[in-house]
Structures are given as C-alpha cells and as structure tokens.
A and B are shown apart, each in its own frame.
Chain A
Amino acid sequence: MAEVVELGKRSDTKVREAAWAAAAAVPDPEIPVVTVADLGILRSVDIDADGAVVARVTPTYSGCPATRMIEQMVLEALQNAGFGDVRVESVLSPAWTTDWISNEGREKLRQFGIAPPQKTSNSKRALFGETVVNCPRCGSAETERVSEFGSTPCKALYRCKACKEPFDYFKCL
C-alpha cells in the first residue's frame, strides 16, 4: 500500500515509466529468454483519465495459446509493482509482425538457439528469392527446412547441414 501512495505523488510520466518497466520485464512464457517488450507484443502502457494503468498487448498469431497467459502475467506484474487499478487490453490492429522484435530480442533468441526472423542474408541463395536461415549455433547458411510448422505457432523446424544440429527458426510474419 505504501508503494501505491508513493506512486501517486509522482508525475504521470514517472508513473507511466514505472508501469512500463514493470510490464516490459514480463518474460514470454514459451521463450522465457525474451521479454514481451523484446518481442514487441507489449504495445503500450498508459494511465487513463481515472488513474488506472492500461497495458495493451497484441498476439503474435491469432491462435497463439500463450496470449491469455501473457495478459495474465502482465496484469500480475503491474499489480506486484504496486499498481492497484490495472487493465490489460488485447489489440489486433495494426497486426504484429516479426519486424517488431527488437535487435536485443533477436540477439537473445539467437543465443538461446532460436534463429531470429531474417530479412537479409550473406548467402547467394537469397538472391534467388530463397529464405536463407543461418544456424544460430555455428552461423552457417547451409541449412534446410524440415517443416514450416514447429513447436509453437511462431516457429519453423530447421536443420544445419554444417554442424548437423536441428534448430527452431522464428519465422517471418
């Protein structure tokens, strides 16, 4: 309770920054190395006219089963940070794309062993319109797609022909 009173004294900008920081730190439940802010699915955190904190989140895929859990986790994170009146809204428009994943988020994905969505490549195959995914472990472009559908709606299954390791690719949307 003491925290709530203290927050009330701050300016709106400060409150919004504190609320953003609390919501932004929530990890993705299926890929916990990245946060909802890294993925770009936490769209905004605002204070409405009544002083309530309103966080807006957007799904990656329409059917992503983690969407509800993410909304719940953002709600709890804000409540745990001392915000009493909290609302989490789901917004569809504009539709999320993998371009919204931050550079930091991409690097975290790669280090975790998931190839981040790729737009550019150092391989000649990319010149012929082929999507070339570099292996997140050894960096080789000699990889092949096993299946366009993987362990979660946002990932595809790949295999590296250089280091022989299978890996997940966060596919472009």
Chain B
Amino acid sequence: MAKGNILFTYLLRLADDHLILSQRLGEWAGHAPTLEEDLALTNIALDLIGQARSLYSYAGAVEGQGRDEDQLAFTRPERDYVNALIVEQPNGDFAHTIVRQFFIAAFMVPFWREMEKSGDDQLAAIAAKASKEVAYHLRHASEWVVRLGDGTDESHARMVEALEDLVMYTGELFEKDPVTDAAIEAGFAVDVSALEDEWRQTVEQVLGEAMLALPEVGYMQTGGRDGIHSEHLGHILSELQYMQRTYPGLTW
C-alpha cells in the first residue's frame, strides 16, 4: 500500500470512530435523565463531530478523489466503515452509555496526547485540539462511573452488567494490523498497543473508587477495522445517511 493510501485508511478509521460515537450520543438528545446530562452528552457529541469533520476533510484531501467530509460520511456503505466495534454498541440503559463512554475516553486521552507528537503536522494539530477536549470527556464519564457504581444496589448492578457486556469490545482499541504497522513506520501514527497499560491503570483506579472491578474476559470481539461489524452499524447508517440516500447530492 502506498503511503497516501495508508494515511487515508488510518484517518478514515479515526474519523469513523468519532462520527459513529457522536451519532450514538446524539440519540440521547431529549432523553437523558436530567437536563444538565442531556446538555453534557450532546456537548460531547459535538466535540466528537468536530473532530470527525477535521479528520474526514483531511482524509478527503489526502485521497485526492474530490470526496469531501459529507461524501465520506454519507455515501459509504456499511462494509466500507472501519470504526471500532465499541462505538457502534447501543446506548442501552444509562449505565451502558457511561461505561462505553468511560472505556473510550480513557483510551482517547493518552491516544491524542501521543498523537500530538505525530510526524504529520495536520494530525498533530487536530490532536492538540482534541487532547484538551477529551480530558473533559474522561472526567465526565469517571464521575458518573463512581456515582453509579457506588450508588444504589440498582445502579451498581446495572454498572456490573454494562461492564460485562462491553469489556469484550475494548481489545480492538489496542490492536495492530498491517495498516497501523505501516503508519507507525511512516512516523505519523500512535502505537496503540503501548497505551494498554495506561488505559488499564486509569480504568481500574476509577472502577476501584466506584466499588467495581474490570471483568476478566477470555475473548475479545474484533473486525470493525476490516469492515466486519455488529448488527448495529447498519441501523445507525440507515438513519444517519437517510437524506443523502433518498435525495443524492441534496444541499441545504
């Protein structure tokens, strides 16, 4: 694969992670348990969509086929999406949303911090902005983990269930494959396998405070980076892409 192709695929994976998670969080608009939390989740979604837009725009420019951020987001079929499986998992109850958010934010904080050192100026610039934003996301999720884990019997039980349901999607975040290997070799990517210890430390520390524990898991789900998704992504895209599928090329 040529360097341009690797950068394009690498950017697309990141952009898809951010767009799909943003879309999931956006589903809470008008449904969150309190007004403040409604604002918090949609604010985080807004940060994520801003990050996704920067990444898609850059990916489009790197590809050089004239595709812009909108075409990349709205016209690719499910199998061309290369997000990690965890971001497409359903919101479930509030505990599931918070655990998903917590797992991802605990990963994104070290990820963007390391990306600030990228040999690619544009990626480093996107990282410098994102780093500041994800610090808020992690604090928000951590506070909820403690509040719910160390809350009532009901909230504790729901957190335990959410942890058990979602932990098997965390392994994929630290996976390497020929694309990431080539990207690291080219000097613009983060070696995600090196972030796992820090992630585990952050997660276990907060879970400890919340009277919870990270469940042991024997098997990690994978496939998103190759376009092999859970059944949920198709449903997300059918809503996300509805307008452009129905009226191709429609503009406001």
Interface residue ranges, A against B (CB under 8 Å) = 59, 61-65, 92-97, 146-151, 153, 157, 171, 173
Contact = CB atoms under 8 A, between A and B. Distances in A.
Interface stretch (B39-47, B85-93, B192-200): B39-47
Contacts, number: 71
Contact of B50 (A64, A93, A96, A150): A64
Contact of A153 (B46, B125, B126): B46
Contacts of B49: 63
Interface in B33-76: 36-37, 39-40, 43-44, 46-51, 53-54
B128 interface: yes
B121 A63 contact: no
B124 interface: yes
Given A64-B50, A147-B36, A95 B128 contact: yes
A34 to B, nearest CB: 20
B46 A173 contact: no
Contact of A94 (B39, B47, B128): B128
B136 interface: yes
Interface string B214-235: 0000000000000000000000
B132 A150 contact: no
B54 A153 contact: no
Main secondary structure of the interface of A (DSSP, over half): loop
5 nearest A-B pairs in the assembled complex, by CB-CB distance: A63-B50, A62-B50, A93-B125, A147-B36, A63-B46
B125 A65 contact: no
Contact of A151 (B39, B48, B54): B39
B28 to A, nearest CB: 12
Contact of A95 (B37, B51, B125, B139): B125
Nearest to B143: A148
Contacts of A150: 39, 43
Nearest to B54: A62
Contacts of A95: 125, 128-129, 131-132
B130 interface: yes
Nearest to A157: B36
22 contacts: A62-B54, A62-B126, A63-B51, A92-B54, A92-B122, A92-B126, A93-B121, A95-B128, A95-B129, A97-B132, A147-B40, A148-B40, A148-B140, A149-B39, A149-B40, A150-B39, A151-B39, A153-B46, A153-B47, A157-B36, A157-B39, A171-B136
A62, A146, A147, A153: residue with the most chain B Cβ atoms closer than 10 Å:
A62
Contacts of B54: 62, 92
Contacts of A65: 46
A88 to B, nearest CB: 16
B200 to A, nearest CB: 25
B172 interface: no
Contacts of A149: 36, 39-40, 43-44, 136, 140
A61 B54 CA distance: 12
A92 B124 CA distance: 9
Interface in B116-150: 121-122, 124-126, 128-133, 136, 139-140
A39 to B, nearest CB: 15
A173 B43 contact: no
Contacts of B51: 62-63
Contacts of A153: 43, 46-47
A150 B131 CA distance: 20
A149 B38 CA distance: 9
A59 B40 contact: no
